[in-house]
Chain A
Amino acid sequence: MIFNDKPAEALIKPTGINEEEIRRIKTESGKPVIGYLCCFAPPEIISAAGAIPYRITGEPGGDTSSADAYTEPYGCTYVRNILARAIDGKLDFLDGLIISHSCDMVQRLYGIWTYYHPLPYSYLFNVPHQVTPWAQRFYKRELGFFRESLEKFTGRSVSDEKLRNEIVLQNKNRAIIRALYDLRKESPPRLEGSEMLKLLMAGGTQPSGSFNRLLHEKEAFYAARKPGSGKKPRIMIWGSIMDDPALFEIIEEAGGTIVADDTCIGFRVWEKDVPETADPYDGLTEHYFVNFQCPRTDRGPGVKRFNYLLERAREYSVDGVVGYCISFCDPHKFDYPDLRDYLKKEGLPLLLIDDNYSFEPAEAIKTRLQAFLEML
Chain B
Amino acid sequence: MSHSEMSRAKRHLETTRKMKDMLPRFFMRMMERRFSNEPLAWCMVGVPPELLKAFDLLFEWPENFGTMCASRLVAPRFIEVAEGDGYSPELCSYVTNTMGYCKLFKETGEAPEESPLPGGMGTPAMLLGSGFICEPRWKWFQSVATRFFDVPVYSSDPLAPPWDIDPHDPRIEEHYLTLLREDLAGQIEFLEKETGKKLDLNLLREILALSHKALGYWRDTLALRKAVPTPMGSTDYFHAIIPQMYLVGDQEAVDFYREMYEEVKDRVERGVGIVDEEKYRLIWFGLPPWFNMGIFNYLESFGAVFAYESTYNVGDHFEVDLTDPLEAIVRRTWQRAVKMHDYGAEAMPELCNPAVFGGFVGSSLLEELVDDFNLNGAVMHLTRSCRAVSFGEVHTKNRLAKAGIPSLIFESDMADPRLWSDAQIKTRLHALLETIDRAKEGGKINDL
Contacts and interface: CB of A to CB of B under 8 A. Distances in A.
B143 A301 contact: yes
A72 B153 CA distance: 33
Interface in B170-200: 171-172, 175, 178-179, 182-183, 186
A338 B392 contact: no
A74 B147 contact: no
A263 to B, nearest CB: 18
A305 B145 CA distance: 13
Contacts of A213: none
Contact of B153 (A70, A138, A301, A325): A301
Contacts of B147: 337-338, 341
Contacts of A333: 87-88, 90-91
Interface stretch (B110-118, B296-304, B343-351): B343-351
B62 to A, nearest CB: 14
B262 interface: no
Contacts of B182: 132-134, 137
Interface stretch (B130-138, B224-232, B252-260): B130-138
Contact of B186 (A122, A132, A328): A132
Contact of A111 (B87, B346, B398): B346
B65 interface: no
Contacts of B109: none
A334 B349 contact: no
Given A111-B162, A134-B183, A330-B136, A337 B85 contact: yes
A105 B141 CA distance: 20
A73 to B, nearest CB: 8
A114 B164 contact: yes
B425 interface: no
B311 interface: no
Contacts of B387: 72, 74-75, 104-105, 328
A71 B409 CA distance: 12
A70 B157 contact: no
A347 interface: no
B315 interface: no
Contact of A340 (B86, B142, B175, B395): B86
Contacts of B145: 301-302
A28 B63 CA distance: 55
B388 interface: yes
Given A108-B391, A300-B153, A301-B153, A331 B159 contact: no
A351 interface: no
B163 interface: yes
A103 B395 CA distance: 20
Interface string B348-392: 110000000000000000000000000000000010100110111
A370 interface: no
A142 B175 CA distance: 8
A298 B140 CA distance: 11
A337 B143 contact: yes
A187 B73 CA distance: 54
A129 interface: yes
A108 B146 contact: no
B310 interface: no
Interface in A127-178: 128-130, 132-135, 137-138, 141-142, 145
A334 B146 contact: no
Contacts of A124: 162, 164-165
A102 to B, nearest CB: 9
B395 A70 contact: yes
A325 B88 contact: yes
A216 to B, nearest CB: 39
A13 interface: no
A110 interface: yes
B393 interface: yes
B161 interface: yes
Given A114-B164, A124-B162, A72 B179 contact: no
Contact of B159 (A72, A138, A145, A298): A138
Contacts of A107: 162, 349
A304 to B, nearest CB: 10
Nearest to B382: A72
Given A124-B162, A338-B143, A74 B138 contact: no
Best-buried of B85, B162, B164 by chain A (most CB within 10 Å) = B162
Interface in A158-206: none
B86 A334 contact: no
Contacts of B142: 298, 300-301, 305, 334
B266 to A, nearest CB: 41
A110 B391 CA distance: 12
B155 interface: yes
Contacts of A105: 387, 391
Contacts of B348: 111
A138 B175 CA distance: 7
A253 interface: no
B394 interface: yes
A18 interface: no
A268 to B, nearest CB: 18
A368 to B, nearest CB: 16
B136 A298 contact: no
A315 interface: no
B239 interface: no
Nearest to B155: A298
B33 interface: no
A336 interface: yes
18 contacts: A71-B394, A72-B409, A101-B162, A111-B162, A111-B346, A112-B346, A124-B162, A124-B165, A128-B159, A129-B131, A129-B138, A138-B175, A145-B172, A145-B175, A298-B139, A333-B87, A336-B87, A340-B86
Given A71-B391, A112-B346, 5 more contacts: A74-B382, A74-B411, A112-B392, A295-B139, A333-B91
Across chains A and B, which 3 residue pairs bring their CB atoms closest together, nearest first?
A301-B145, A334-B139, A134-B182
